Amino acid sequence: MQKNPYINTDTQSSNTNIGLQNRNPYINQQNPLSQNSLLFDSFDTQKFLVGVAVGAVGVYLLTNEEAQKTLFKSVIKTGELLSAGIEELKERFEDAKAELEAQKEV
């Protein structure tokens, strides 16, 4: 009796995708869920939740006038603090420069 290579009569082997593909090269016996799993393999719940939170904050700011006013006021105050800090650094730099010149003259 001749054995047909296209009919699986091996009951001893495991039902892995590799085993099924080796038995019949003309039939793709992949797990149907494995095709969709490529989409979900790269899914990151933490990044998704961060995206949802950022989106919710964005929608809130775009739709609420009071929130926009508060945001703009805080941005202006932050800018003023930064410019004051830069001016203070410039003054300290000039003071240090003057001290070095005073030490050279002595």
pLDDT of residue 70: 93
Same domain, 81 and 101: yes
Same domain, 64 and 92: yes
The span from the CA of 79 to the CA of 101, in Å, is 33
With a CB cutoff of 8 Å and minimum separation 6, the contacts of 14 are none
pLDDT of residue 43: 79
Same domain, 61 and 37: no
Number of folded domains in the chain? 2
- Return per-residue pLDDT of the chain as tens, 106 residues: 667 767 766 555 555 555 544 566 666 555 555 555 555 667 788 999 999 999 999 999 899 999 999 999 999 999 999 999 999 999 999 999 999 988 888 7
CB-CB neighbours of 87 under 10 Å: 10
Same domain, 53 and 1: no
Cα-Cα-Cα-Cα torsion 62, 66, 67, 68, nearest 10 degrees, comes to 60
pTM beyond cutoff 0.85: no
Token pair in block for residue 64: 């609420």
Asked if 24 and 6 touch (Cβ cutoff 8 Å), the reply is yes
The span from the CA of 59 to the CA of 67, in Å, is 11
pLDDT of residue 21: 47
Same domain, 60 and 98: yes
Domain holding 50, by residue range, is: 45-105
